[in-house]
Every structure is written in structure tokens, then in C-alpha cells.
Structure 1
Amino acid sequence: MTHLPCRHLAQRMASTAIGWLHRHREHGAFPPGTSAELADPNGVYKPLGESALAACLLLRTPASTPADRRLADSLLSFAWEQLGNGALLYERQLRYPAMTDPLEVYAHFARAGYRHDALHELEQYLTGLASHQGSEHLPNRRLAVANAAHVAGLPVHAHWPTLTAATWLGHTPEPWTIDWMTGYAVTHTVFHITDWGAEPHNLRPALSDYLATWLPVWTDIWAEIHEWDLVAELLIAGLCLPDPVGDTGAWQRLAEVQRPDGLMPPDSRPIPDDPDEAFRTGHHTTVVAAIAATLALAHHQQQPVAS
């Protein structure tokens, strides 16, 4: 089985996705003259953080084209400015010290060289507290926070094997018991253990072998019912393994449902005509498509595959 999409398909998917995210960035901006409610966990912060993630991973990948890198750099600058050059993240974290999303969002910018000194100092203090280490998160979320601290250059007060063992994936369970939410938990467990594929050997061999066997099966199941968002996330997880797994058929189906403008629909439901609704519907999956294609391009550069 061929594990990677052809280079041309991956390049087209990455370029059109980052192009769409850049062209529609204003739909994810704060309303003029206002800022998002600091206690809202899923308002403007979430799309800005997701766009920043796609952009910083693209910039991490030398195989990305100069044009795509310019768009990614511009998208990061836009998101950072929307966050008050980090000031809004600092205020949010200061008011709500138990929240972890300010650190997680900040990590995307820190990866690309951005820094907010007061926020960095605050995160360094908070991550050392017993309260932070004992926070009531789902197991894969605890990995997310640990990896964010790692990426941001903060001390990591976590034992990775213990965190991994607590996850569903860490138990290498019966694969047929997986459901939609667990599928997402599995993918994010892989993302954070490997830092989005940068450190694939952080996955212990038993987990890599388990995933190599079952990721293609799960991908096929969710492709059959047109759950494109989860399909794309499963493909990303396959690219994070020491020996990547996947299926060019699944990549081809994903490419076929991506709109010419770059938007990737999350499922088979129609995209709303209203631009704001279309952004809310398609933004996350377009981010995921950009990441998937970017990681595929990185593997092509490391070990070229005939297309």
C-alpha cells in the first residue's frame, strides 16, 4: 500500500487550504472596536489559534512553497495582532489561571518565534503549580498542555509515559470499540506525543504497531460515511508514525471533496451560502486539510515517493 498522496495532490491541497484561510481571515477576527469575552473558551480565540497552528506547521516545513510561506507568515501576523500581540492571552490567563488554552494558543506563535515576555513569565509560574499539574483534564488534553509547554520553551512538569498510559490509545484496546469522539481523542493523543510528527519516535513501538494496523481501517470507515474532518485527522495521525501509514485512495477522496477555493467541508452536508456561516462551518476542517497536506509534503522531502 502506498502511504503518501502524490506530491502534486499534497501541494495543491496545502496551497488552496492556506490560501482560503488567508483570504477569509477577517471572518475569524474580533468585531471592530471590541474584544472577545475573556471567559469564552470557543469564541474568536479558537479559530485564531487553529489558523496559527496550520501556519506555524507550514513554516516549520521546508518543503512548503515560498508563496505558501508568505501567506502563512501573514496569517500568523494577523492572528497575533488580533490577540493584541499576546496581551489578550496574558489578560485571559491572568484572570483565569486554571484555563490552559492561553498557553496552548501561545505555543503556536512561540514555535514561529513570537514572544510575550509577561505571558511567558506567567506561564512559567503557573505550569509549576500543583494546581496546574493536578488539573482535571481528559488524558489526551493533559498531553496537549504538556506539549504546549514543551513547544513554548517552558519547563515540562509531566511524565510522558504516565500521561500516555492514561489515554484510550495507551491501553491498545479492542479496535472495534472506537467511536467518533474516541477517534478524535486518538488522533490528538498522537499529535501531542509526537509534536505533530516532529518527534515520531516518542510513540512507543507497541502504540506505533497498533496504529499502523488500525488507522487505515478506521480511516476507511469514516471515509465511507463522509466524515471528512475525522478522515483528515486520521491521515495526519498516520503521518506522525515512525513509518507513515495511510492510503492514497483516502487522500484522493479527500482531495475530491475540497472545493476549488480551498475550503474543506467537514462532512456531506452543504456549506452555507452566508460567508460568516461558511467560515464557521468549514474553518476547522480546512485547517486540518492544510496540516495534513503540509505533513505529507514534509515526508515527500525526507523520502521521495514516485507519484
Structure 2
Amino acid sequence: MSVEGVGEAALGWVWAHRDDFALGDDALAAEGQVNRTWKPLGELTRVCASVSLCTPPAVPLHARARDLLDFAWQQTHRGELFGLMQSLEPFATYPLEIYAAFASAGFRSPGYEASAAVVARTRGWRLTEQYPTRRLGVLEAERHSGIRPHGSAAQALDRTWLGGLPEPWTFERAAGYALTHVVFHVTDWGLAPRGVPPGLADYLPHWLPPWLDTCLEARMWDLSCELLAVAASLPRAPEPAVLDDAWQRLATAQDSSGAVPEEGAAQDAAGADAGPDPYDFSDCYHSTLMTVFAAALTAARQRDADHAGQHAGQGVPG
């Protein structure tokens, strides 16, 4: 199956399970679990926003991604819930991070942006202790939400694991997820490869292939998808043969429903009689979304390369 086919199948699963991303009655409850309410919806929004921005309207992924964005926006009562969330947790950053994904795709709530800007000017907001990778995300969210970033993205980047150009053998699961999000933040989720600083632009094409191979070999499909998205976000991508092999291996993990498990064996873990949903939603929704994201970015880079090749082939009139 082609990269586009893998992505379309994965988004088909997401579309069929969109109600599982819906916010429940506990979305604003003090005892509510953010990881089960807002997190899935926020990740759906982030991926669909990126897909809609990197795909032409004629590409099948585009229209479905826009429809899912509309669905997700309705879940927030067209942005009204963000203001309520802020009143309940004034210094929580996740509402702004989720809202910023909507804003990047043109869904905006001026009232929420105004109130968030007030909080962002406080010392409490600026001094909140965060991992450097998370701070990069907050700075990006502020920018997309029309708020002046409260710090330097370059300084935050320098404090991350990836920003320090670590010894490649120190790569492990936590470092892997951290590095992928560093790249996502500095490239505006794959839309601006030139955002990768020169040092990282030289470092990553060299070490990303063995890291990706390690994750694929370990059947860590979720992290593998994120690394494939990173590969498509770099100014200079790894060799095509490396990526072709990785996509073929990922395709073998994809269920006929379009779902991709986070890790482990694919079909044999589900069992022969698992039915149309071989995995629990929580065990595959993120990896399936990341499959969509990586496929859309990979296809976009290929379209750009084909377009550049066509122009180069035309030559200069004599």
C-alpha cells in the first residue's frame, strides 16, 4: 500500500470513531481526567489542523480533516469552553495549547484570546516550571493565539535533549518522544522545515535512520510514526530507501480497519475473531493519528519534490 493509502485508511478509522473523541460531561469537572477528555480531542485537532494545511483541497485527506476539525470545534462549543477552562485553571497551559491548534487552522475565539493574553502577562505564567520541550510548545501556542511569546524559543531549544546534540546511543523511548516534539514545535508541526537550526539539520538525517530502525524492530509503532513525521519535517530528509522500507514495515502493522496499535504485534495480538475493532480506543487512537500525520507530511514533501523536479526539468529558455 502507498503512503497515501496508509494515511487514508488510518483517517478512515479516525472518522469512524470520531464519537470516541467527543467531550463528556466530565470535561470541566474538577475530578475529570484530562488525559481521557481533552487530550484525545486536542490530538485530533492538532493532527487534522496540520493535515488540512499541508494537503491541497483535491486530496481526499483534506476534506475529511476539515470535517473532523468542525466536529472538534463544536465539541468546545465553538471555543466557549476554553474560557470556562481558564476560569477553573488559570495557569494550566493545556487549554491554550489545544486552542492554538484550532487557531492555526482558522478557528478563533477573540474573547478567549483576550483573557488568555491577560494571564500570559503575569509573573505566575512566565515563571511556571516546565520541561524545556513543553515550554517550546507553550511559546508556539502563544504565537498562534496572538499572544506575545513570554520567552525565547532558541533558549528553550538549547535546554532540550535534542538541542544539546546528544550522543546517539543515549536515545531511548522518553528521549524519542521529546525529540519528535522539539522538531514539531520548531517546524510549526512540519509546515516550516527551515525552522530546524543548521546544527540539528545536519545531525538528524545522520542519526534518525538508526533510531527509526530500532523502533520499528521493537514494534514501537507510535514512536515510529512520530519519527517518520520528523523525517518529513527536516530540510534534508533521510535517504528515500530508508523511508520506503520504514513505510512498508509500518503498513504491515496496520489493521484492515485502518487502526495502528501503539506497539506490539499487530494481527496476532488481536486474535482472529476480534471483529471490526481489534484494539481498544486508548490503545490505538494516538498511533493511528500519528500515522495520518506522518503520511500527510510525507506525501506533501513528495509533491513538493515532484513540483521542484518538474520546474528544474523545464530548464532555462535559450
With structure 2 as the length reference, what TM-score do the two structures score? 0.87
| Counterpart residue number, 1:5 | none
Q: Secondary structure at the match of 2:41?
A: helix
**Does residue 1:291 correspond to 2:293, yes or no?**
yes
Report if the CA contact (8 A) 1:58-1:64 is conserved: no
Distance in 1 separating the partners of 2:209 and 2:56:
25
Post-superposition offset of 1:72: 1.2
| Counterpart residue number, 1:152 | 145
Comparing 174-183 and 87-96, the one that deviates more: 87-96
Q: Deviations over 1:140-189 (max 9, x none)?
A: 00001111122223222221211110001111111101211111001111
Distance in 1 separating the partners of 2:263 and 2:40:
19
Distance in 2 separating the partners of 1:286 and 1:206:
31
2:237 to 240, 244, 247: 244
Post-superposition offset of 1:139: 0.8
Report if the CA contact (8 A) 2:55-2:296 is conserved: no
| Counterpart residue number, 1:88 | 81
Post-superposition offset of 1:276: 10
Distance in 1 separating the partners of 2:279 and 2:13:
15
Distance in 1 separating the partners of 2:77 and 2:89:
18
- Note closer, same or farther for the CA distance 1:134–1:69 as it changes in structure 2 (3 Å cut): same
Post-superposition offset of 1:127: 2.1
Post-superposition offset of 1:11: 1.1
**Does residue 1:135 correspond to 2:153, yes or no?**
no
| Counterpart residue number, 2:312 | none
Report if the CA contact (8 A) 1:90-1:119 is conserved: yes
Aligned residues: 297
Q: How does 1:63-78 map to 2 (within 5 A)?
A: 63=56, 65-78=58-71
Q: How does 1:28-39 map to 2 (within 5 A)?
A: 28-31=21-24, 34-39=25-30
1:216 to 202, 206, 209: 209
**Does residue 1:23 correspond to 2:16, yes or no?**
yes
| Counterpart residue number, 2:281 | 279
Post-superposition offset of 1:277: 6.2
Post-superposition offset of 1:64: 6.1
Q: Deviations over 1:212-257 (max 9, x none)?
A: 1111110011111100111111111111111122521111101121
**Structure with higher RCO (Cα < 8 A, 6+ apart):** 1
Q: Secondary structure at the match of 2:79?
A: helix
Report if the CA contact (8 A) 1:63-1:301 is conserved: no
Q: Secondary structure at the match of 1:229?
A: helix
Structure 2: runs of 5 or more not aligned: 310-318
Q: How does 1:92-131 map to 2 (within 5 A)?
A: 92-131=85-124
Q: Secondary structure at the match of 1:36?
A: coil
| Counterpart residue number, 2:49 | 56
Post-superposition offset of 1:66: 4.4
Report if the CA contact (8 A) 1:169-1:186 is conserved: yes
Report if the CA contact (8 A) 2:55-2:62 is conserved: no
Post-superposition offset of 1:76: 0.9
Post-superposition offset of 1:261: 1.8
Aligned letter for 1:300?
Q
Distance in 1 separating the partners of 2:41 and 2:35:
10
Distance in 2 separating the partners of 1:239 and 1:127:
33
Structure 1: runs of 5 or more not aligned: 1-7
Give percent identity, aligned residues only.
34
Q: Secondary structure at the match of 2:2?
A: helix
Distance in 2 separating the partners of 1:271 and 1:288:
20
Post-superposition offset of 1:128: 2.3
With structure 1 as the length reference, what TM-score do the two structures score? 0.90
Distance in 2 separating the partners of 1:234 and 1:195:
16
- Note closer, same or farther for the CA distance 1:244–1:63 as it changes in structure 2 (3 Å cut): farther
Q: How does 1:189-200 map to 2 (within 5 A)?
A: 189-200=182-193
Aligned letter for 1:100?
T
Distance in 1 separating the partners of 2:80 and 2:279:
28
Root-mean-square deviation (Å): 2.1
Aligned letter for 1:302?
D
Distance in 2 separating the partners of 1:93 and 1:277:
34
Report if the CA contact (8 A) 2:216-2:246 is conserved: yes
- Rg larger for: 2
Aligned letter for 2:294?
A
| Counterpart residue number, 1:253 | 249
